[in-house]
Amino acid sequence: MNTEVDGPQEEGPNDAMVCCFLIHTVCSVSALSSGGSRVLHSRVFGPEDNTESDPERRRLLQKERLLALARRVRTAVCLYRDAAGTSCVECVLGEEAVALGEAEFGVLRLSAGEPFPAERTVLWLGVQNLAFTLVCEMHENLLLAEGTLRNIARHCMEELRLLGPGSEILLKSDRIDALLHRYVPHGQLLFLNHRFTHILDKELSAYGTK
Amino acid sequence: MYSTGNESLVKQAREIQDEELHKFYGRISKLLNANRDHGNETIDSLQRLNLIVSATKYAKTLPPDLKKKLQTLLLSKTHPEQFQILFTSILRESLPLSTQELSAGLAQDTRSSSYVAAVVLSQAANKDDVAPVCQHLLKHLESRQPDGQICKHTLPILSKLISYSPEILTEDQVNLVSRKLVDWLRYASLQQGASMSTGGFFSGPRTRQPVPVTEVDGAVAGDFFTVLCVGHSFGEDQWMNMYAFSMIRKWLLTYDAEGTSGGESAHLSQIQFMLSQLQDDRSEVDSSVVSMVSATSSSSRLLPPKERLREKAFEYCHRLIEQSDRKAMKRTDTELQKACIVEAVTIMDIICKEDPSYVYRAFPSVKALYGRLSGELAYARALIPIAQFYLNHSEMAAVDSEAVFRQLFSRYPSELFNEPALAYEFVQFCRANMAVLEDGVALYRQSFPNIFKFLAWTSPALVADYMELLPSLMCPDTAVEILHSLLDLPCLAATLDLQQRSASYQASERVLWDHGSKVASVLEAFRQPSYRGLFLYILRPEAGSGDTIDRLKMLHEVLSDMAASPRVVQCAQVVPVLLHVFFNNVTKFADEKLISQLALVLLERSSLLYNIKQFKIELFRVFSTHIRTLCKLHPSLLVNQSRELLDFAGSTANIYSKEELYTNVVWLIGEYLSVVHDPRCSVELITTFFEGLEAVLFEITQVRQSVSPPSYPPRVITVLMTTLSKLASRSQDLIPRVSLSLSKLCNFARSRLVLASYSEEDTEEIITRAHELTNLLKLPSVAQFVLAPAALGESPRWHSDTNASLPRAMRTISGLLHKQSSFQQSG
């Protein structure tokens, strides 16, 4: 056996799943310090490496990590926009395709301990003043992850009317869960061809319309 | 988009008072208890509760009855999905934990299993918490009732479970799942699944005709079902096929690697394969020996489950690679094809690592794939796993990998430097394989100018990775050029920017340049043939192709208008940290000659930097630190580079423009220019340095007398004085000269002009230092001892050891000096 070969095995089997998904702000929010980011939706998949034994403190640690992540991504988005010299075109409801077309996309690596115990890859999609962020294990198929992230972002934009002034993102967040339940069940990225996607989309459009 | 309305809603949810919250809990309990269909009001309330429990980082604790109610409802199967999702989400976010109650309630019916598992998995704190879910899923997999429904998310859940704890499955269970995976991967139906909508009256009989699934280009699918097969609808086996392929890589990585059952046979195949290579050089033709090898490891139903799965997964990947050649009718399917190529090649790589006999079977397919994709930049990201495959296996299969790495290191960075995802994957590939690349792939180190392009373009996101990569790119041959390239990194960023703009705008569209005439004029220069060589040098793909250091100044001038552009500034900010990495690493392998060269580069480049103010200040600090380290390591570099050092230290202009570095260089001369460190350090050499510095000091005092205000920092003056005294102590003929200089300096420090511009403490400091040195030099042998501490200072002990000789010597000497000066005064 080729056990001496360097490879993913040595980093443990934790290497091909999505760990969490976030939607958060990348603009300044009056109640937050500069550089802060408001997490509007977060979903952590499955058990995570968390040293706290008390459930309340476990949850706190988890949320603190997500906040640190959101701040990190916010900085990345801002740096990216600065460097590219792009100015945000304000889009209104109905212009989702334009907003997504202009969205910035980036990838970054989180070293172990910053803030998750193990190394992670972060994919982000900056749409106007929001970012959609997917945190994956190191060896995830990034082409698949990117496609999934864009798909989820599109659904969120359209179904939660994110370009409008409403509060759907906060009050109807169960729809995001329904979305993730299909496209990233338990953190598993799926190889969906257009027919699989179509069937899931159809299921989703029936969601909540009883 | 996110508005103040949203912000106040978050605030409300966070600040809700206990009393109000309890009333709200009560209302929801009542709504849920009502024995009727829950309507919009219930949904609305649950959504608000969901917001309340998830809006803060501090957990909310639900009243026991409400929690119980939510759990019971989640476990019962009667509710529409929206309720299930809301129950799941509320239970997941709130306390007390629901792990035990939900695990205990997992019923025969599997419809709610996925939701229940979502809560249990997210609240689990250890393996025992998740074990019941695992057992529940396996039980349903095992029961072979034909109508037994299995949870559609069985595989995603298992995938999550095994990443959390691989040992959660027993050997038997691993075999069970492996067998199931084989069935799903390889034997899913090629007919479309039963459509949900039954046809109309007339179409009734026709819809019952089985309709085959098709390939992504519309052709009828042959062979077996994969994720690249499309149909109007899919049956359960086809869904499971998709889920199985989505998790197979993780499964193989987790359980195939152990090789408990396959270890020996794999080893055997490896030996057989090697034998076959020995016997038959034309290992790619279907020789009888080899086909016997592949026969032993393939297709037989008698194989143990793990090996059978390996075989089937391999066949699946093989088919995916073939299918990815088809022209997809939908754009999303084209994207999926790319993702499938990446996955398939990666899985093949894993399998080949476990069982090298597969290398031979995989290569023709991977090689053909490479041939197909190598010309297309749109498939660049798919090439990275292919490169990984070549890196791991080409040697064994005796396949030439040169072209693959040339494509990877030469073409991609120069043409796709602005693709963030490719940049990331490229850099991670290099990081993961640093050791192999630096030894085995000469082109890797050779291509560092190209590899730096990703860094220059996306500096903040990649700097941490490049801090790891940089040492692997460095070797004695490339070190000097790497140092230059790091210093030129902001220029590279600016040039890449120009390259991109130039490609996207035609000359006729000049009006559209939105960054004003500044960029337009730089862009003009970028296109001019007279500057072409300069830009080509900065954009060179490989090391060693040309050196235009004498024309760098011109490049900096051309690019000066871009020095403030955010991308260039971001890039400039990462240079100091990379320089630290560079110097910390270079000292590990550099010999005296190289160290000398590097010191020279620092001196030369200190006046040849891209004009970004903060960048220069930072860099002089870095230069100072490391020129000290270099000198300490090889003090004879002072002799080797004496002319350049003298030029540098003898120029008063350097005091103005690079005070930090200047001060350090002068200090180094005093510290290390001694016969103790280098026998070539003759009296003549010391005298030359002395005269150079003496002239500087003289110039300072002259300037002081003529021009106001004086702007030389007092620190430079004291360091110059000390260095002159040190040199004089080593060549005692110089002592009268330095004493004269010092006394002049004292006089002038007391002059009105100087007094007006320095603080009292600064003046005091200069005068005191001059006095101390003058007095010290009156006892030449003592001065020689005190002013030459470098060699003694090598031992770290004397910092802490109060009994060591130096502190005591200092005390004695200062006592002596005091006595003498009081004697002189009284005398």
Confidence label for B72 from pLDDT (cuts 50, 70 and 90): confident
Say yes or no: B622 contacts chain A, CB-CB below 8 A. no
> Within 13 Å, how many C-alpha atoms sit on residue B575's CB side?
33
B201-223 residue pLDDT tens: 444 444 557 888 999 999 998 88
Is the per-residue pLDDT at B122 higher than 50? yes
Are A190 and B267 inside 8 Å of each other by CB? no
Q: Which residues of B touch A195 (CB under 8 A)?
A: 230-234
Is the per-residue pLDDT at B145 higher than 50? yes
Is the per-residue pLDDT at A107 higher than 90? yes
Range among B153-157, B345-349, B728-732 with highest mean pLDDT value: B345-349
Say yes or no: B432 contacts chain A, CB-CB below 8 A. yes
Are B47 and A64 inside 8 Å of each other by CB? no
Distance CA B595, CA B612 (A): 27
Are A143 and B253 inside 8 Å of each other by CB? no
Report CA-CA distances (Å) from B485 to B409, B492, B549, B555, B556. Answer: 17, 9, 11, 14, 14
What's the confidence (pLDDT) of residue B567? 94
Name residue, tokens 């329904």.
A178
Task: Say if CB B38 and CB B83 are below 8 A apart.
Answer: yes
Are B234 and A5 inside 8 Å of each other by CB? no
What's the confidence (pLDDT) of residue B810? 67
Residue of B nearest to A38 (CA): B7
The mean per-residue pLDDT over the stretch B104-121 comes to 80
Q: Which residues of B touch A159 (CB under 8 A)?
A: none
Residues B715-719: contacts with CB within 8 Å, 24+ apart? B715/B663, B716/B655, B716/B659, B716/B662, B716/B663, B716/B666, B717/B745, B717/B766, B718/B765, B718/B766, B718/B769, B719/B663, B719/B666, B719/B667, B719/B670
Say yes or no: B334 contacts chain A, CB-CB below 8 A. no
Say yes or no: B82 contacts chain A, CB-CB below 8 A. yes
Name residue, tokens 């069940």.
A185
Residue of A nearest to B330 (CA): A194
Amino acid at the residue A67: L
Task: Say if CB B262 and CB B304 are below 8 A apart.
Answer: yes
Range among B71-85, B202-216, B561-575, B674-688 with highest mean pLDDT value: B561-575
Average pLDDT, chain A: 86
Chain centre to alpha carbon of residue B267: 36
B399-458 residue pLDDT tens: 888 999 999 999 999 999 999 999 999 999 999 999 999 998 999 999 999 999 999 999
Residues 58-97 of A with CB under 8 A from B: 58-60, 63-64, 67, 75-76, 79-80, 82-85
What's the confidence (pLDDT) of residue B305? 87
Is the per-residue pLDDT at B505 higher than 90? no
Report CA-CA distances (Å) from B41 to B32, B37, B44, B48. Answer: 10, 11, 5, 11
What's the confidence (pLDDT) of residue B516? 55
What's the confidence (pLDDT) of residue B238? 92
Say yes or no: B438 contacts chain A, CB-CB below 8 A. no
Range among B106-120, B617-631, B790-804 with highest mean pLDDT value: B617-631
Are B59 and A162 inside 8 Å of each other by CB? no
Confidence label for B144 from pLDDT (cuts 50, 70 and 90): low
Say yes or no: B231 contacts chain A, CB-CB below 8 A. yes
Is the per-residue pLDDT at A10 higher than 50? no
Per-residue HEC secondary structure of B565-600 comes to CHHHHHHHHHHHHHHHHHHHHHHHHCCHHHHHHHHH
Q: Which residues of A touch B9 (CB under 8 A)?
A: 167, 170-171
What's the confidence (pLDDT) of residue B349? 95
Is the per-residue pLDDT at B568 higher than 60? yes
Residue of B nearest to A84 (CA): B567
| Spatial CA neighbour of B724 closest among B698, B701, B705 | B698
Are B515 and A85 inside 8 Å of each other by CB? yes
CA distance from start to end of chain A: 56
Average pLDDT, chain B: 83
Distance CA B224, CA B237 (A): 12
Q: How far is A208 from chain B (nearest CA, A)?
A: 6
Q: How far is A135 from chain B (nearest CA, A)?
A: 14
Q: How far is B689 from chain A (nearest CA, A)?
A: 47
B264-319 residue pLDDT tens: 444 444 444 444 444 433 333 333 333 333 334 444 567 888 889 999 999 999 99
B647-695 residue pLDDT tens: 999 888 888 888 889 999 999 998 888 888 888 888 899 999 999 999 9
Q: How far is A108 from chain B (nearest CA, A)?
A: 6
The mean per-residue pLDDT over the stretch B237-264 comes to 79
A50, A143, A181 member nearest B85 (Cβ)? A181
Say yes or no: B118 contacts chain A, CB-CB below 8 A. yes
B121, B250, B354 member nearest A46 (Cβ)? B121
Are B6 and A40 inside 8 Å of each other by CB? yes
Is the per-residue pLDDT at B627 higher than 60? yes
Share of chain B above pLDDT 90, in %: 40
What's the confidence (pLDDT) of residue B799? 46
Say yes or no: B574 contacts chain A, CB-CB below 8 A. no
Top pLDDT among B812 and B620 is at: B620
Are A16 and B9 inside 8 Å of each other by CB? no
Q: How far is A18 from chain B (nearest CA, A)?
A: 9
What's the confidence (pLDDT) of residue B114? 87
Q: Which residues of B touch A58 (CB under 8 A)?
A: 125
Is the per-residue pLDDT at B262 higher than 50? no
| Spatial CA neighbour of B648 closest among B604, B610, B611 | B604
What's the confidence (pLDDT) of residue A208? 73
Paired strand residues for B159? none
The mean per-residue pLDDT over the stretch B157-181 comes to 90
- Among A154-163, B613-622, B711-720, B722-731, the range scoring the smallest mean pLDDT is B711-720
Distance CA B328, CA B215 (A): 8
Residues 112-171 of A with CB under 8 A from B: 121, 123, 128-130, 137-138, 141-144, 146-147, 162-163, 165-167, 169-171
Say yes or no: B440 contacts chain A, CB-CB below 8 A. no
The length of chain B in residues reads: 827
Distance CA B215, CA B226 (A): 9
The dihedral built from the CA positions of residue B773, B778, B784 and B785, taken in this order, carries a sign that is negative
Where is A117: in which H helix or E strand?
Answer: none
Are A171 and B47 inside 8 Å of each other by CB? yes
What's the confidence (pLDDT) of residue B731? 85
- Which of A78, A143, A158, A189 is most worth mutating to test chain B (most B CB atoms within 10 A of its CB)? A143
Are B421 and A163 inside 8 Å of each other by CB? no
What's the confidence (pLDDT) of residue B299? 47
Say yes or no: A25 contacts chain B, CB-CB below 8 A. yes
What phi, psi does B564 have (nearest 5°)? -100, 0
Q: How far is A159 from chain B (nearest CA, A)?
A: 13
Distance CA A198, CA A122 (A): 27
Top pLDDT among B821 and B406 is at: B406
Distance CA B813, CA B729 (A): 15
Distance CA B358, CA B314 (A): 9
Share of chain B above pLDDT 70, in %: 83
Is the per-residue pLDDT at B629 higher than 60? yes
What's the confidence (pLDDT) of residue A86? 75
List of E strands, B153-305 = 214-215, 229-230
Say yes or no: B429 contacts chain A, CB-CB below 8 A. no
Are B47 and A59 inside 8 Å of each other by CB? no
Per-residue HEC secondary structure of B145-179 comes to CCCCCCCCCHHHHHHHHHHHCHHHCCHHHHHHHHH
B463-490 residue pLDDT tens: 999 999 999 999 999 999 999 999 999 9
Are A193 and B332 inside 8 Å of each other by CB? yes
B688-721 residue pLDDT tens: 999 999 998 888 877 655 555 556 788 888 899 9
Are B3 and A138 inside 8 Å of each other by CB? no
Distance CA B792, CA B782 (A): 15
Say yes or no: B153 contacts chain A, CB-CB below 8 A. yes
What's the confidence (pLDDT) of residue B42? 87
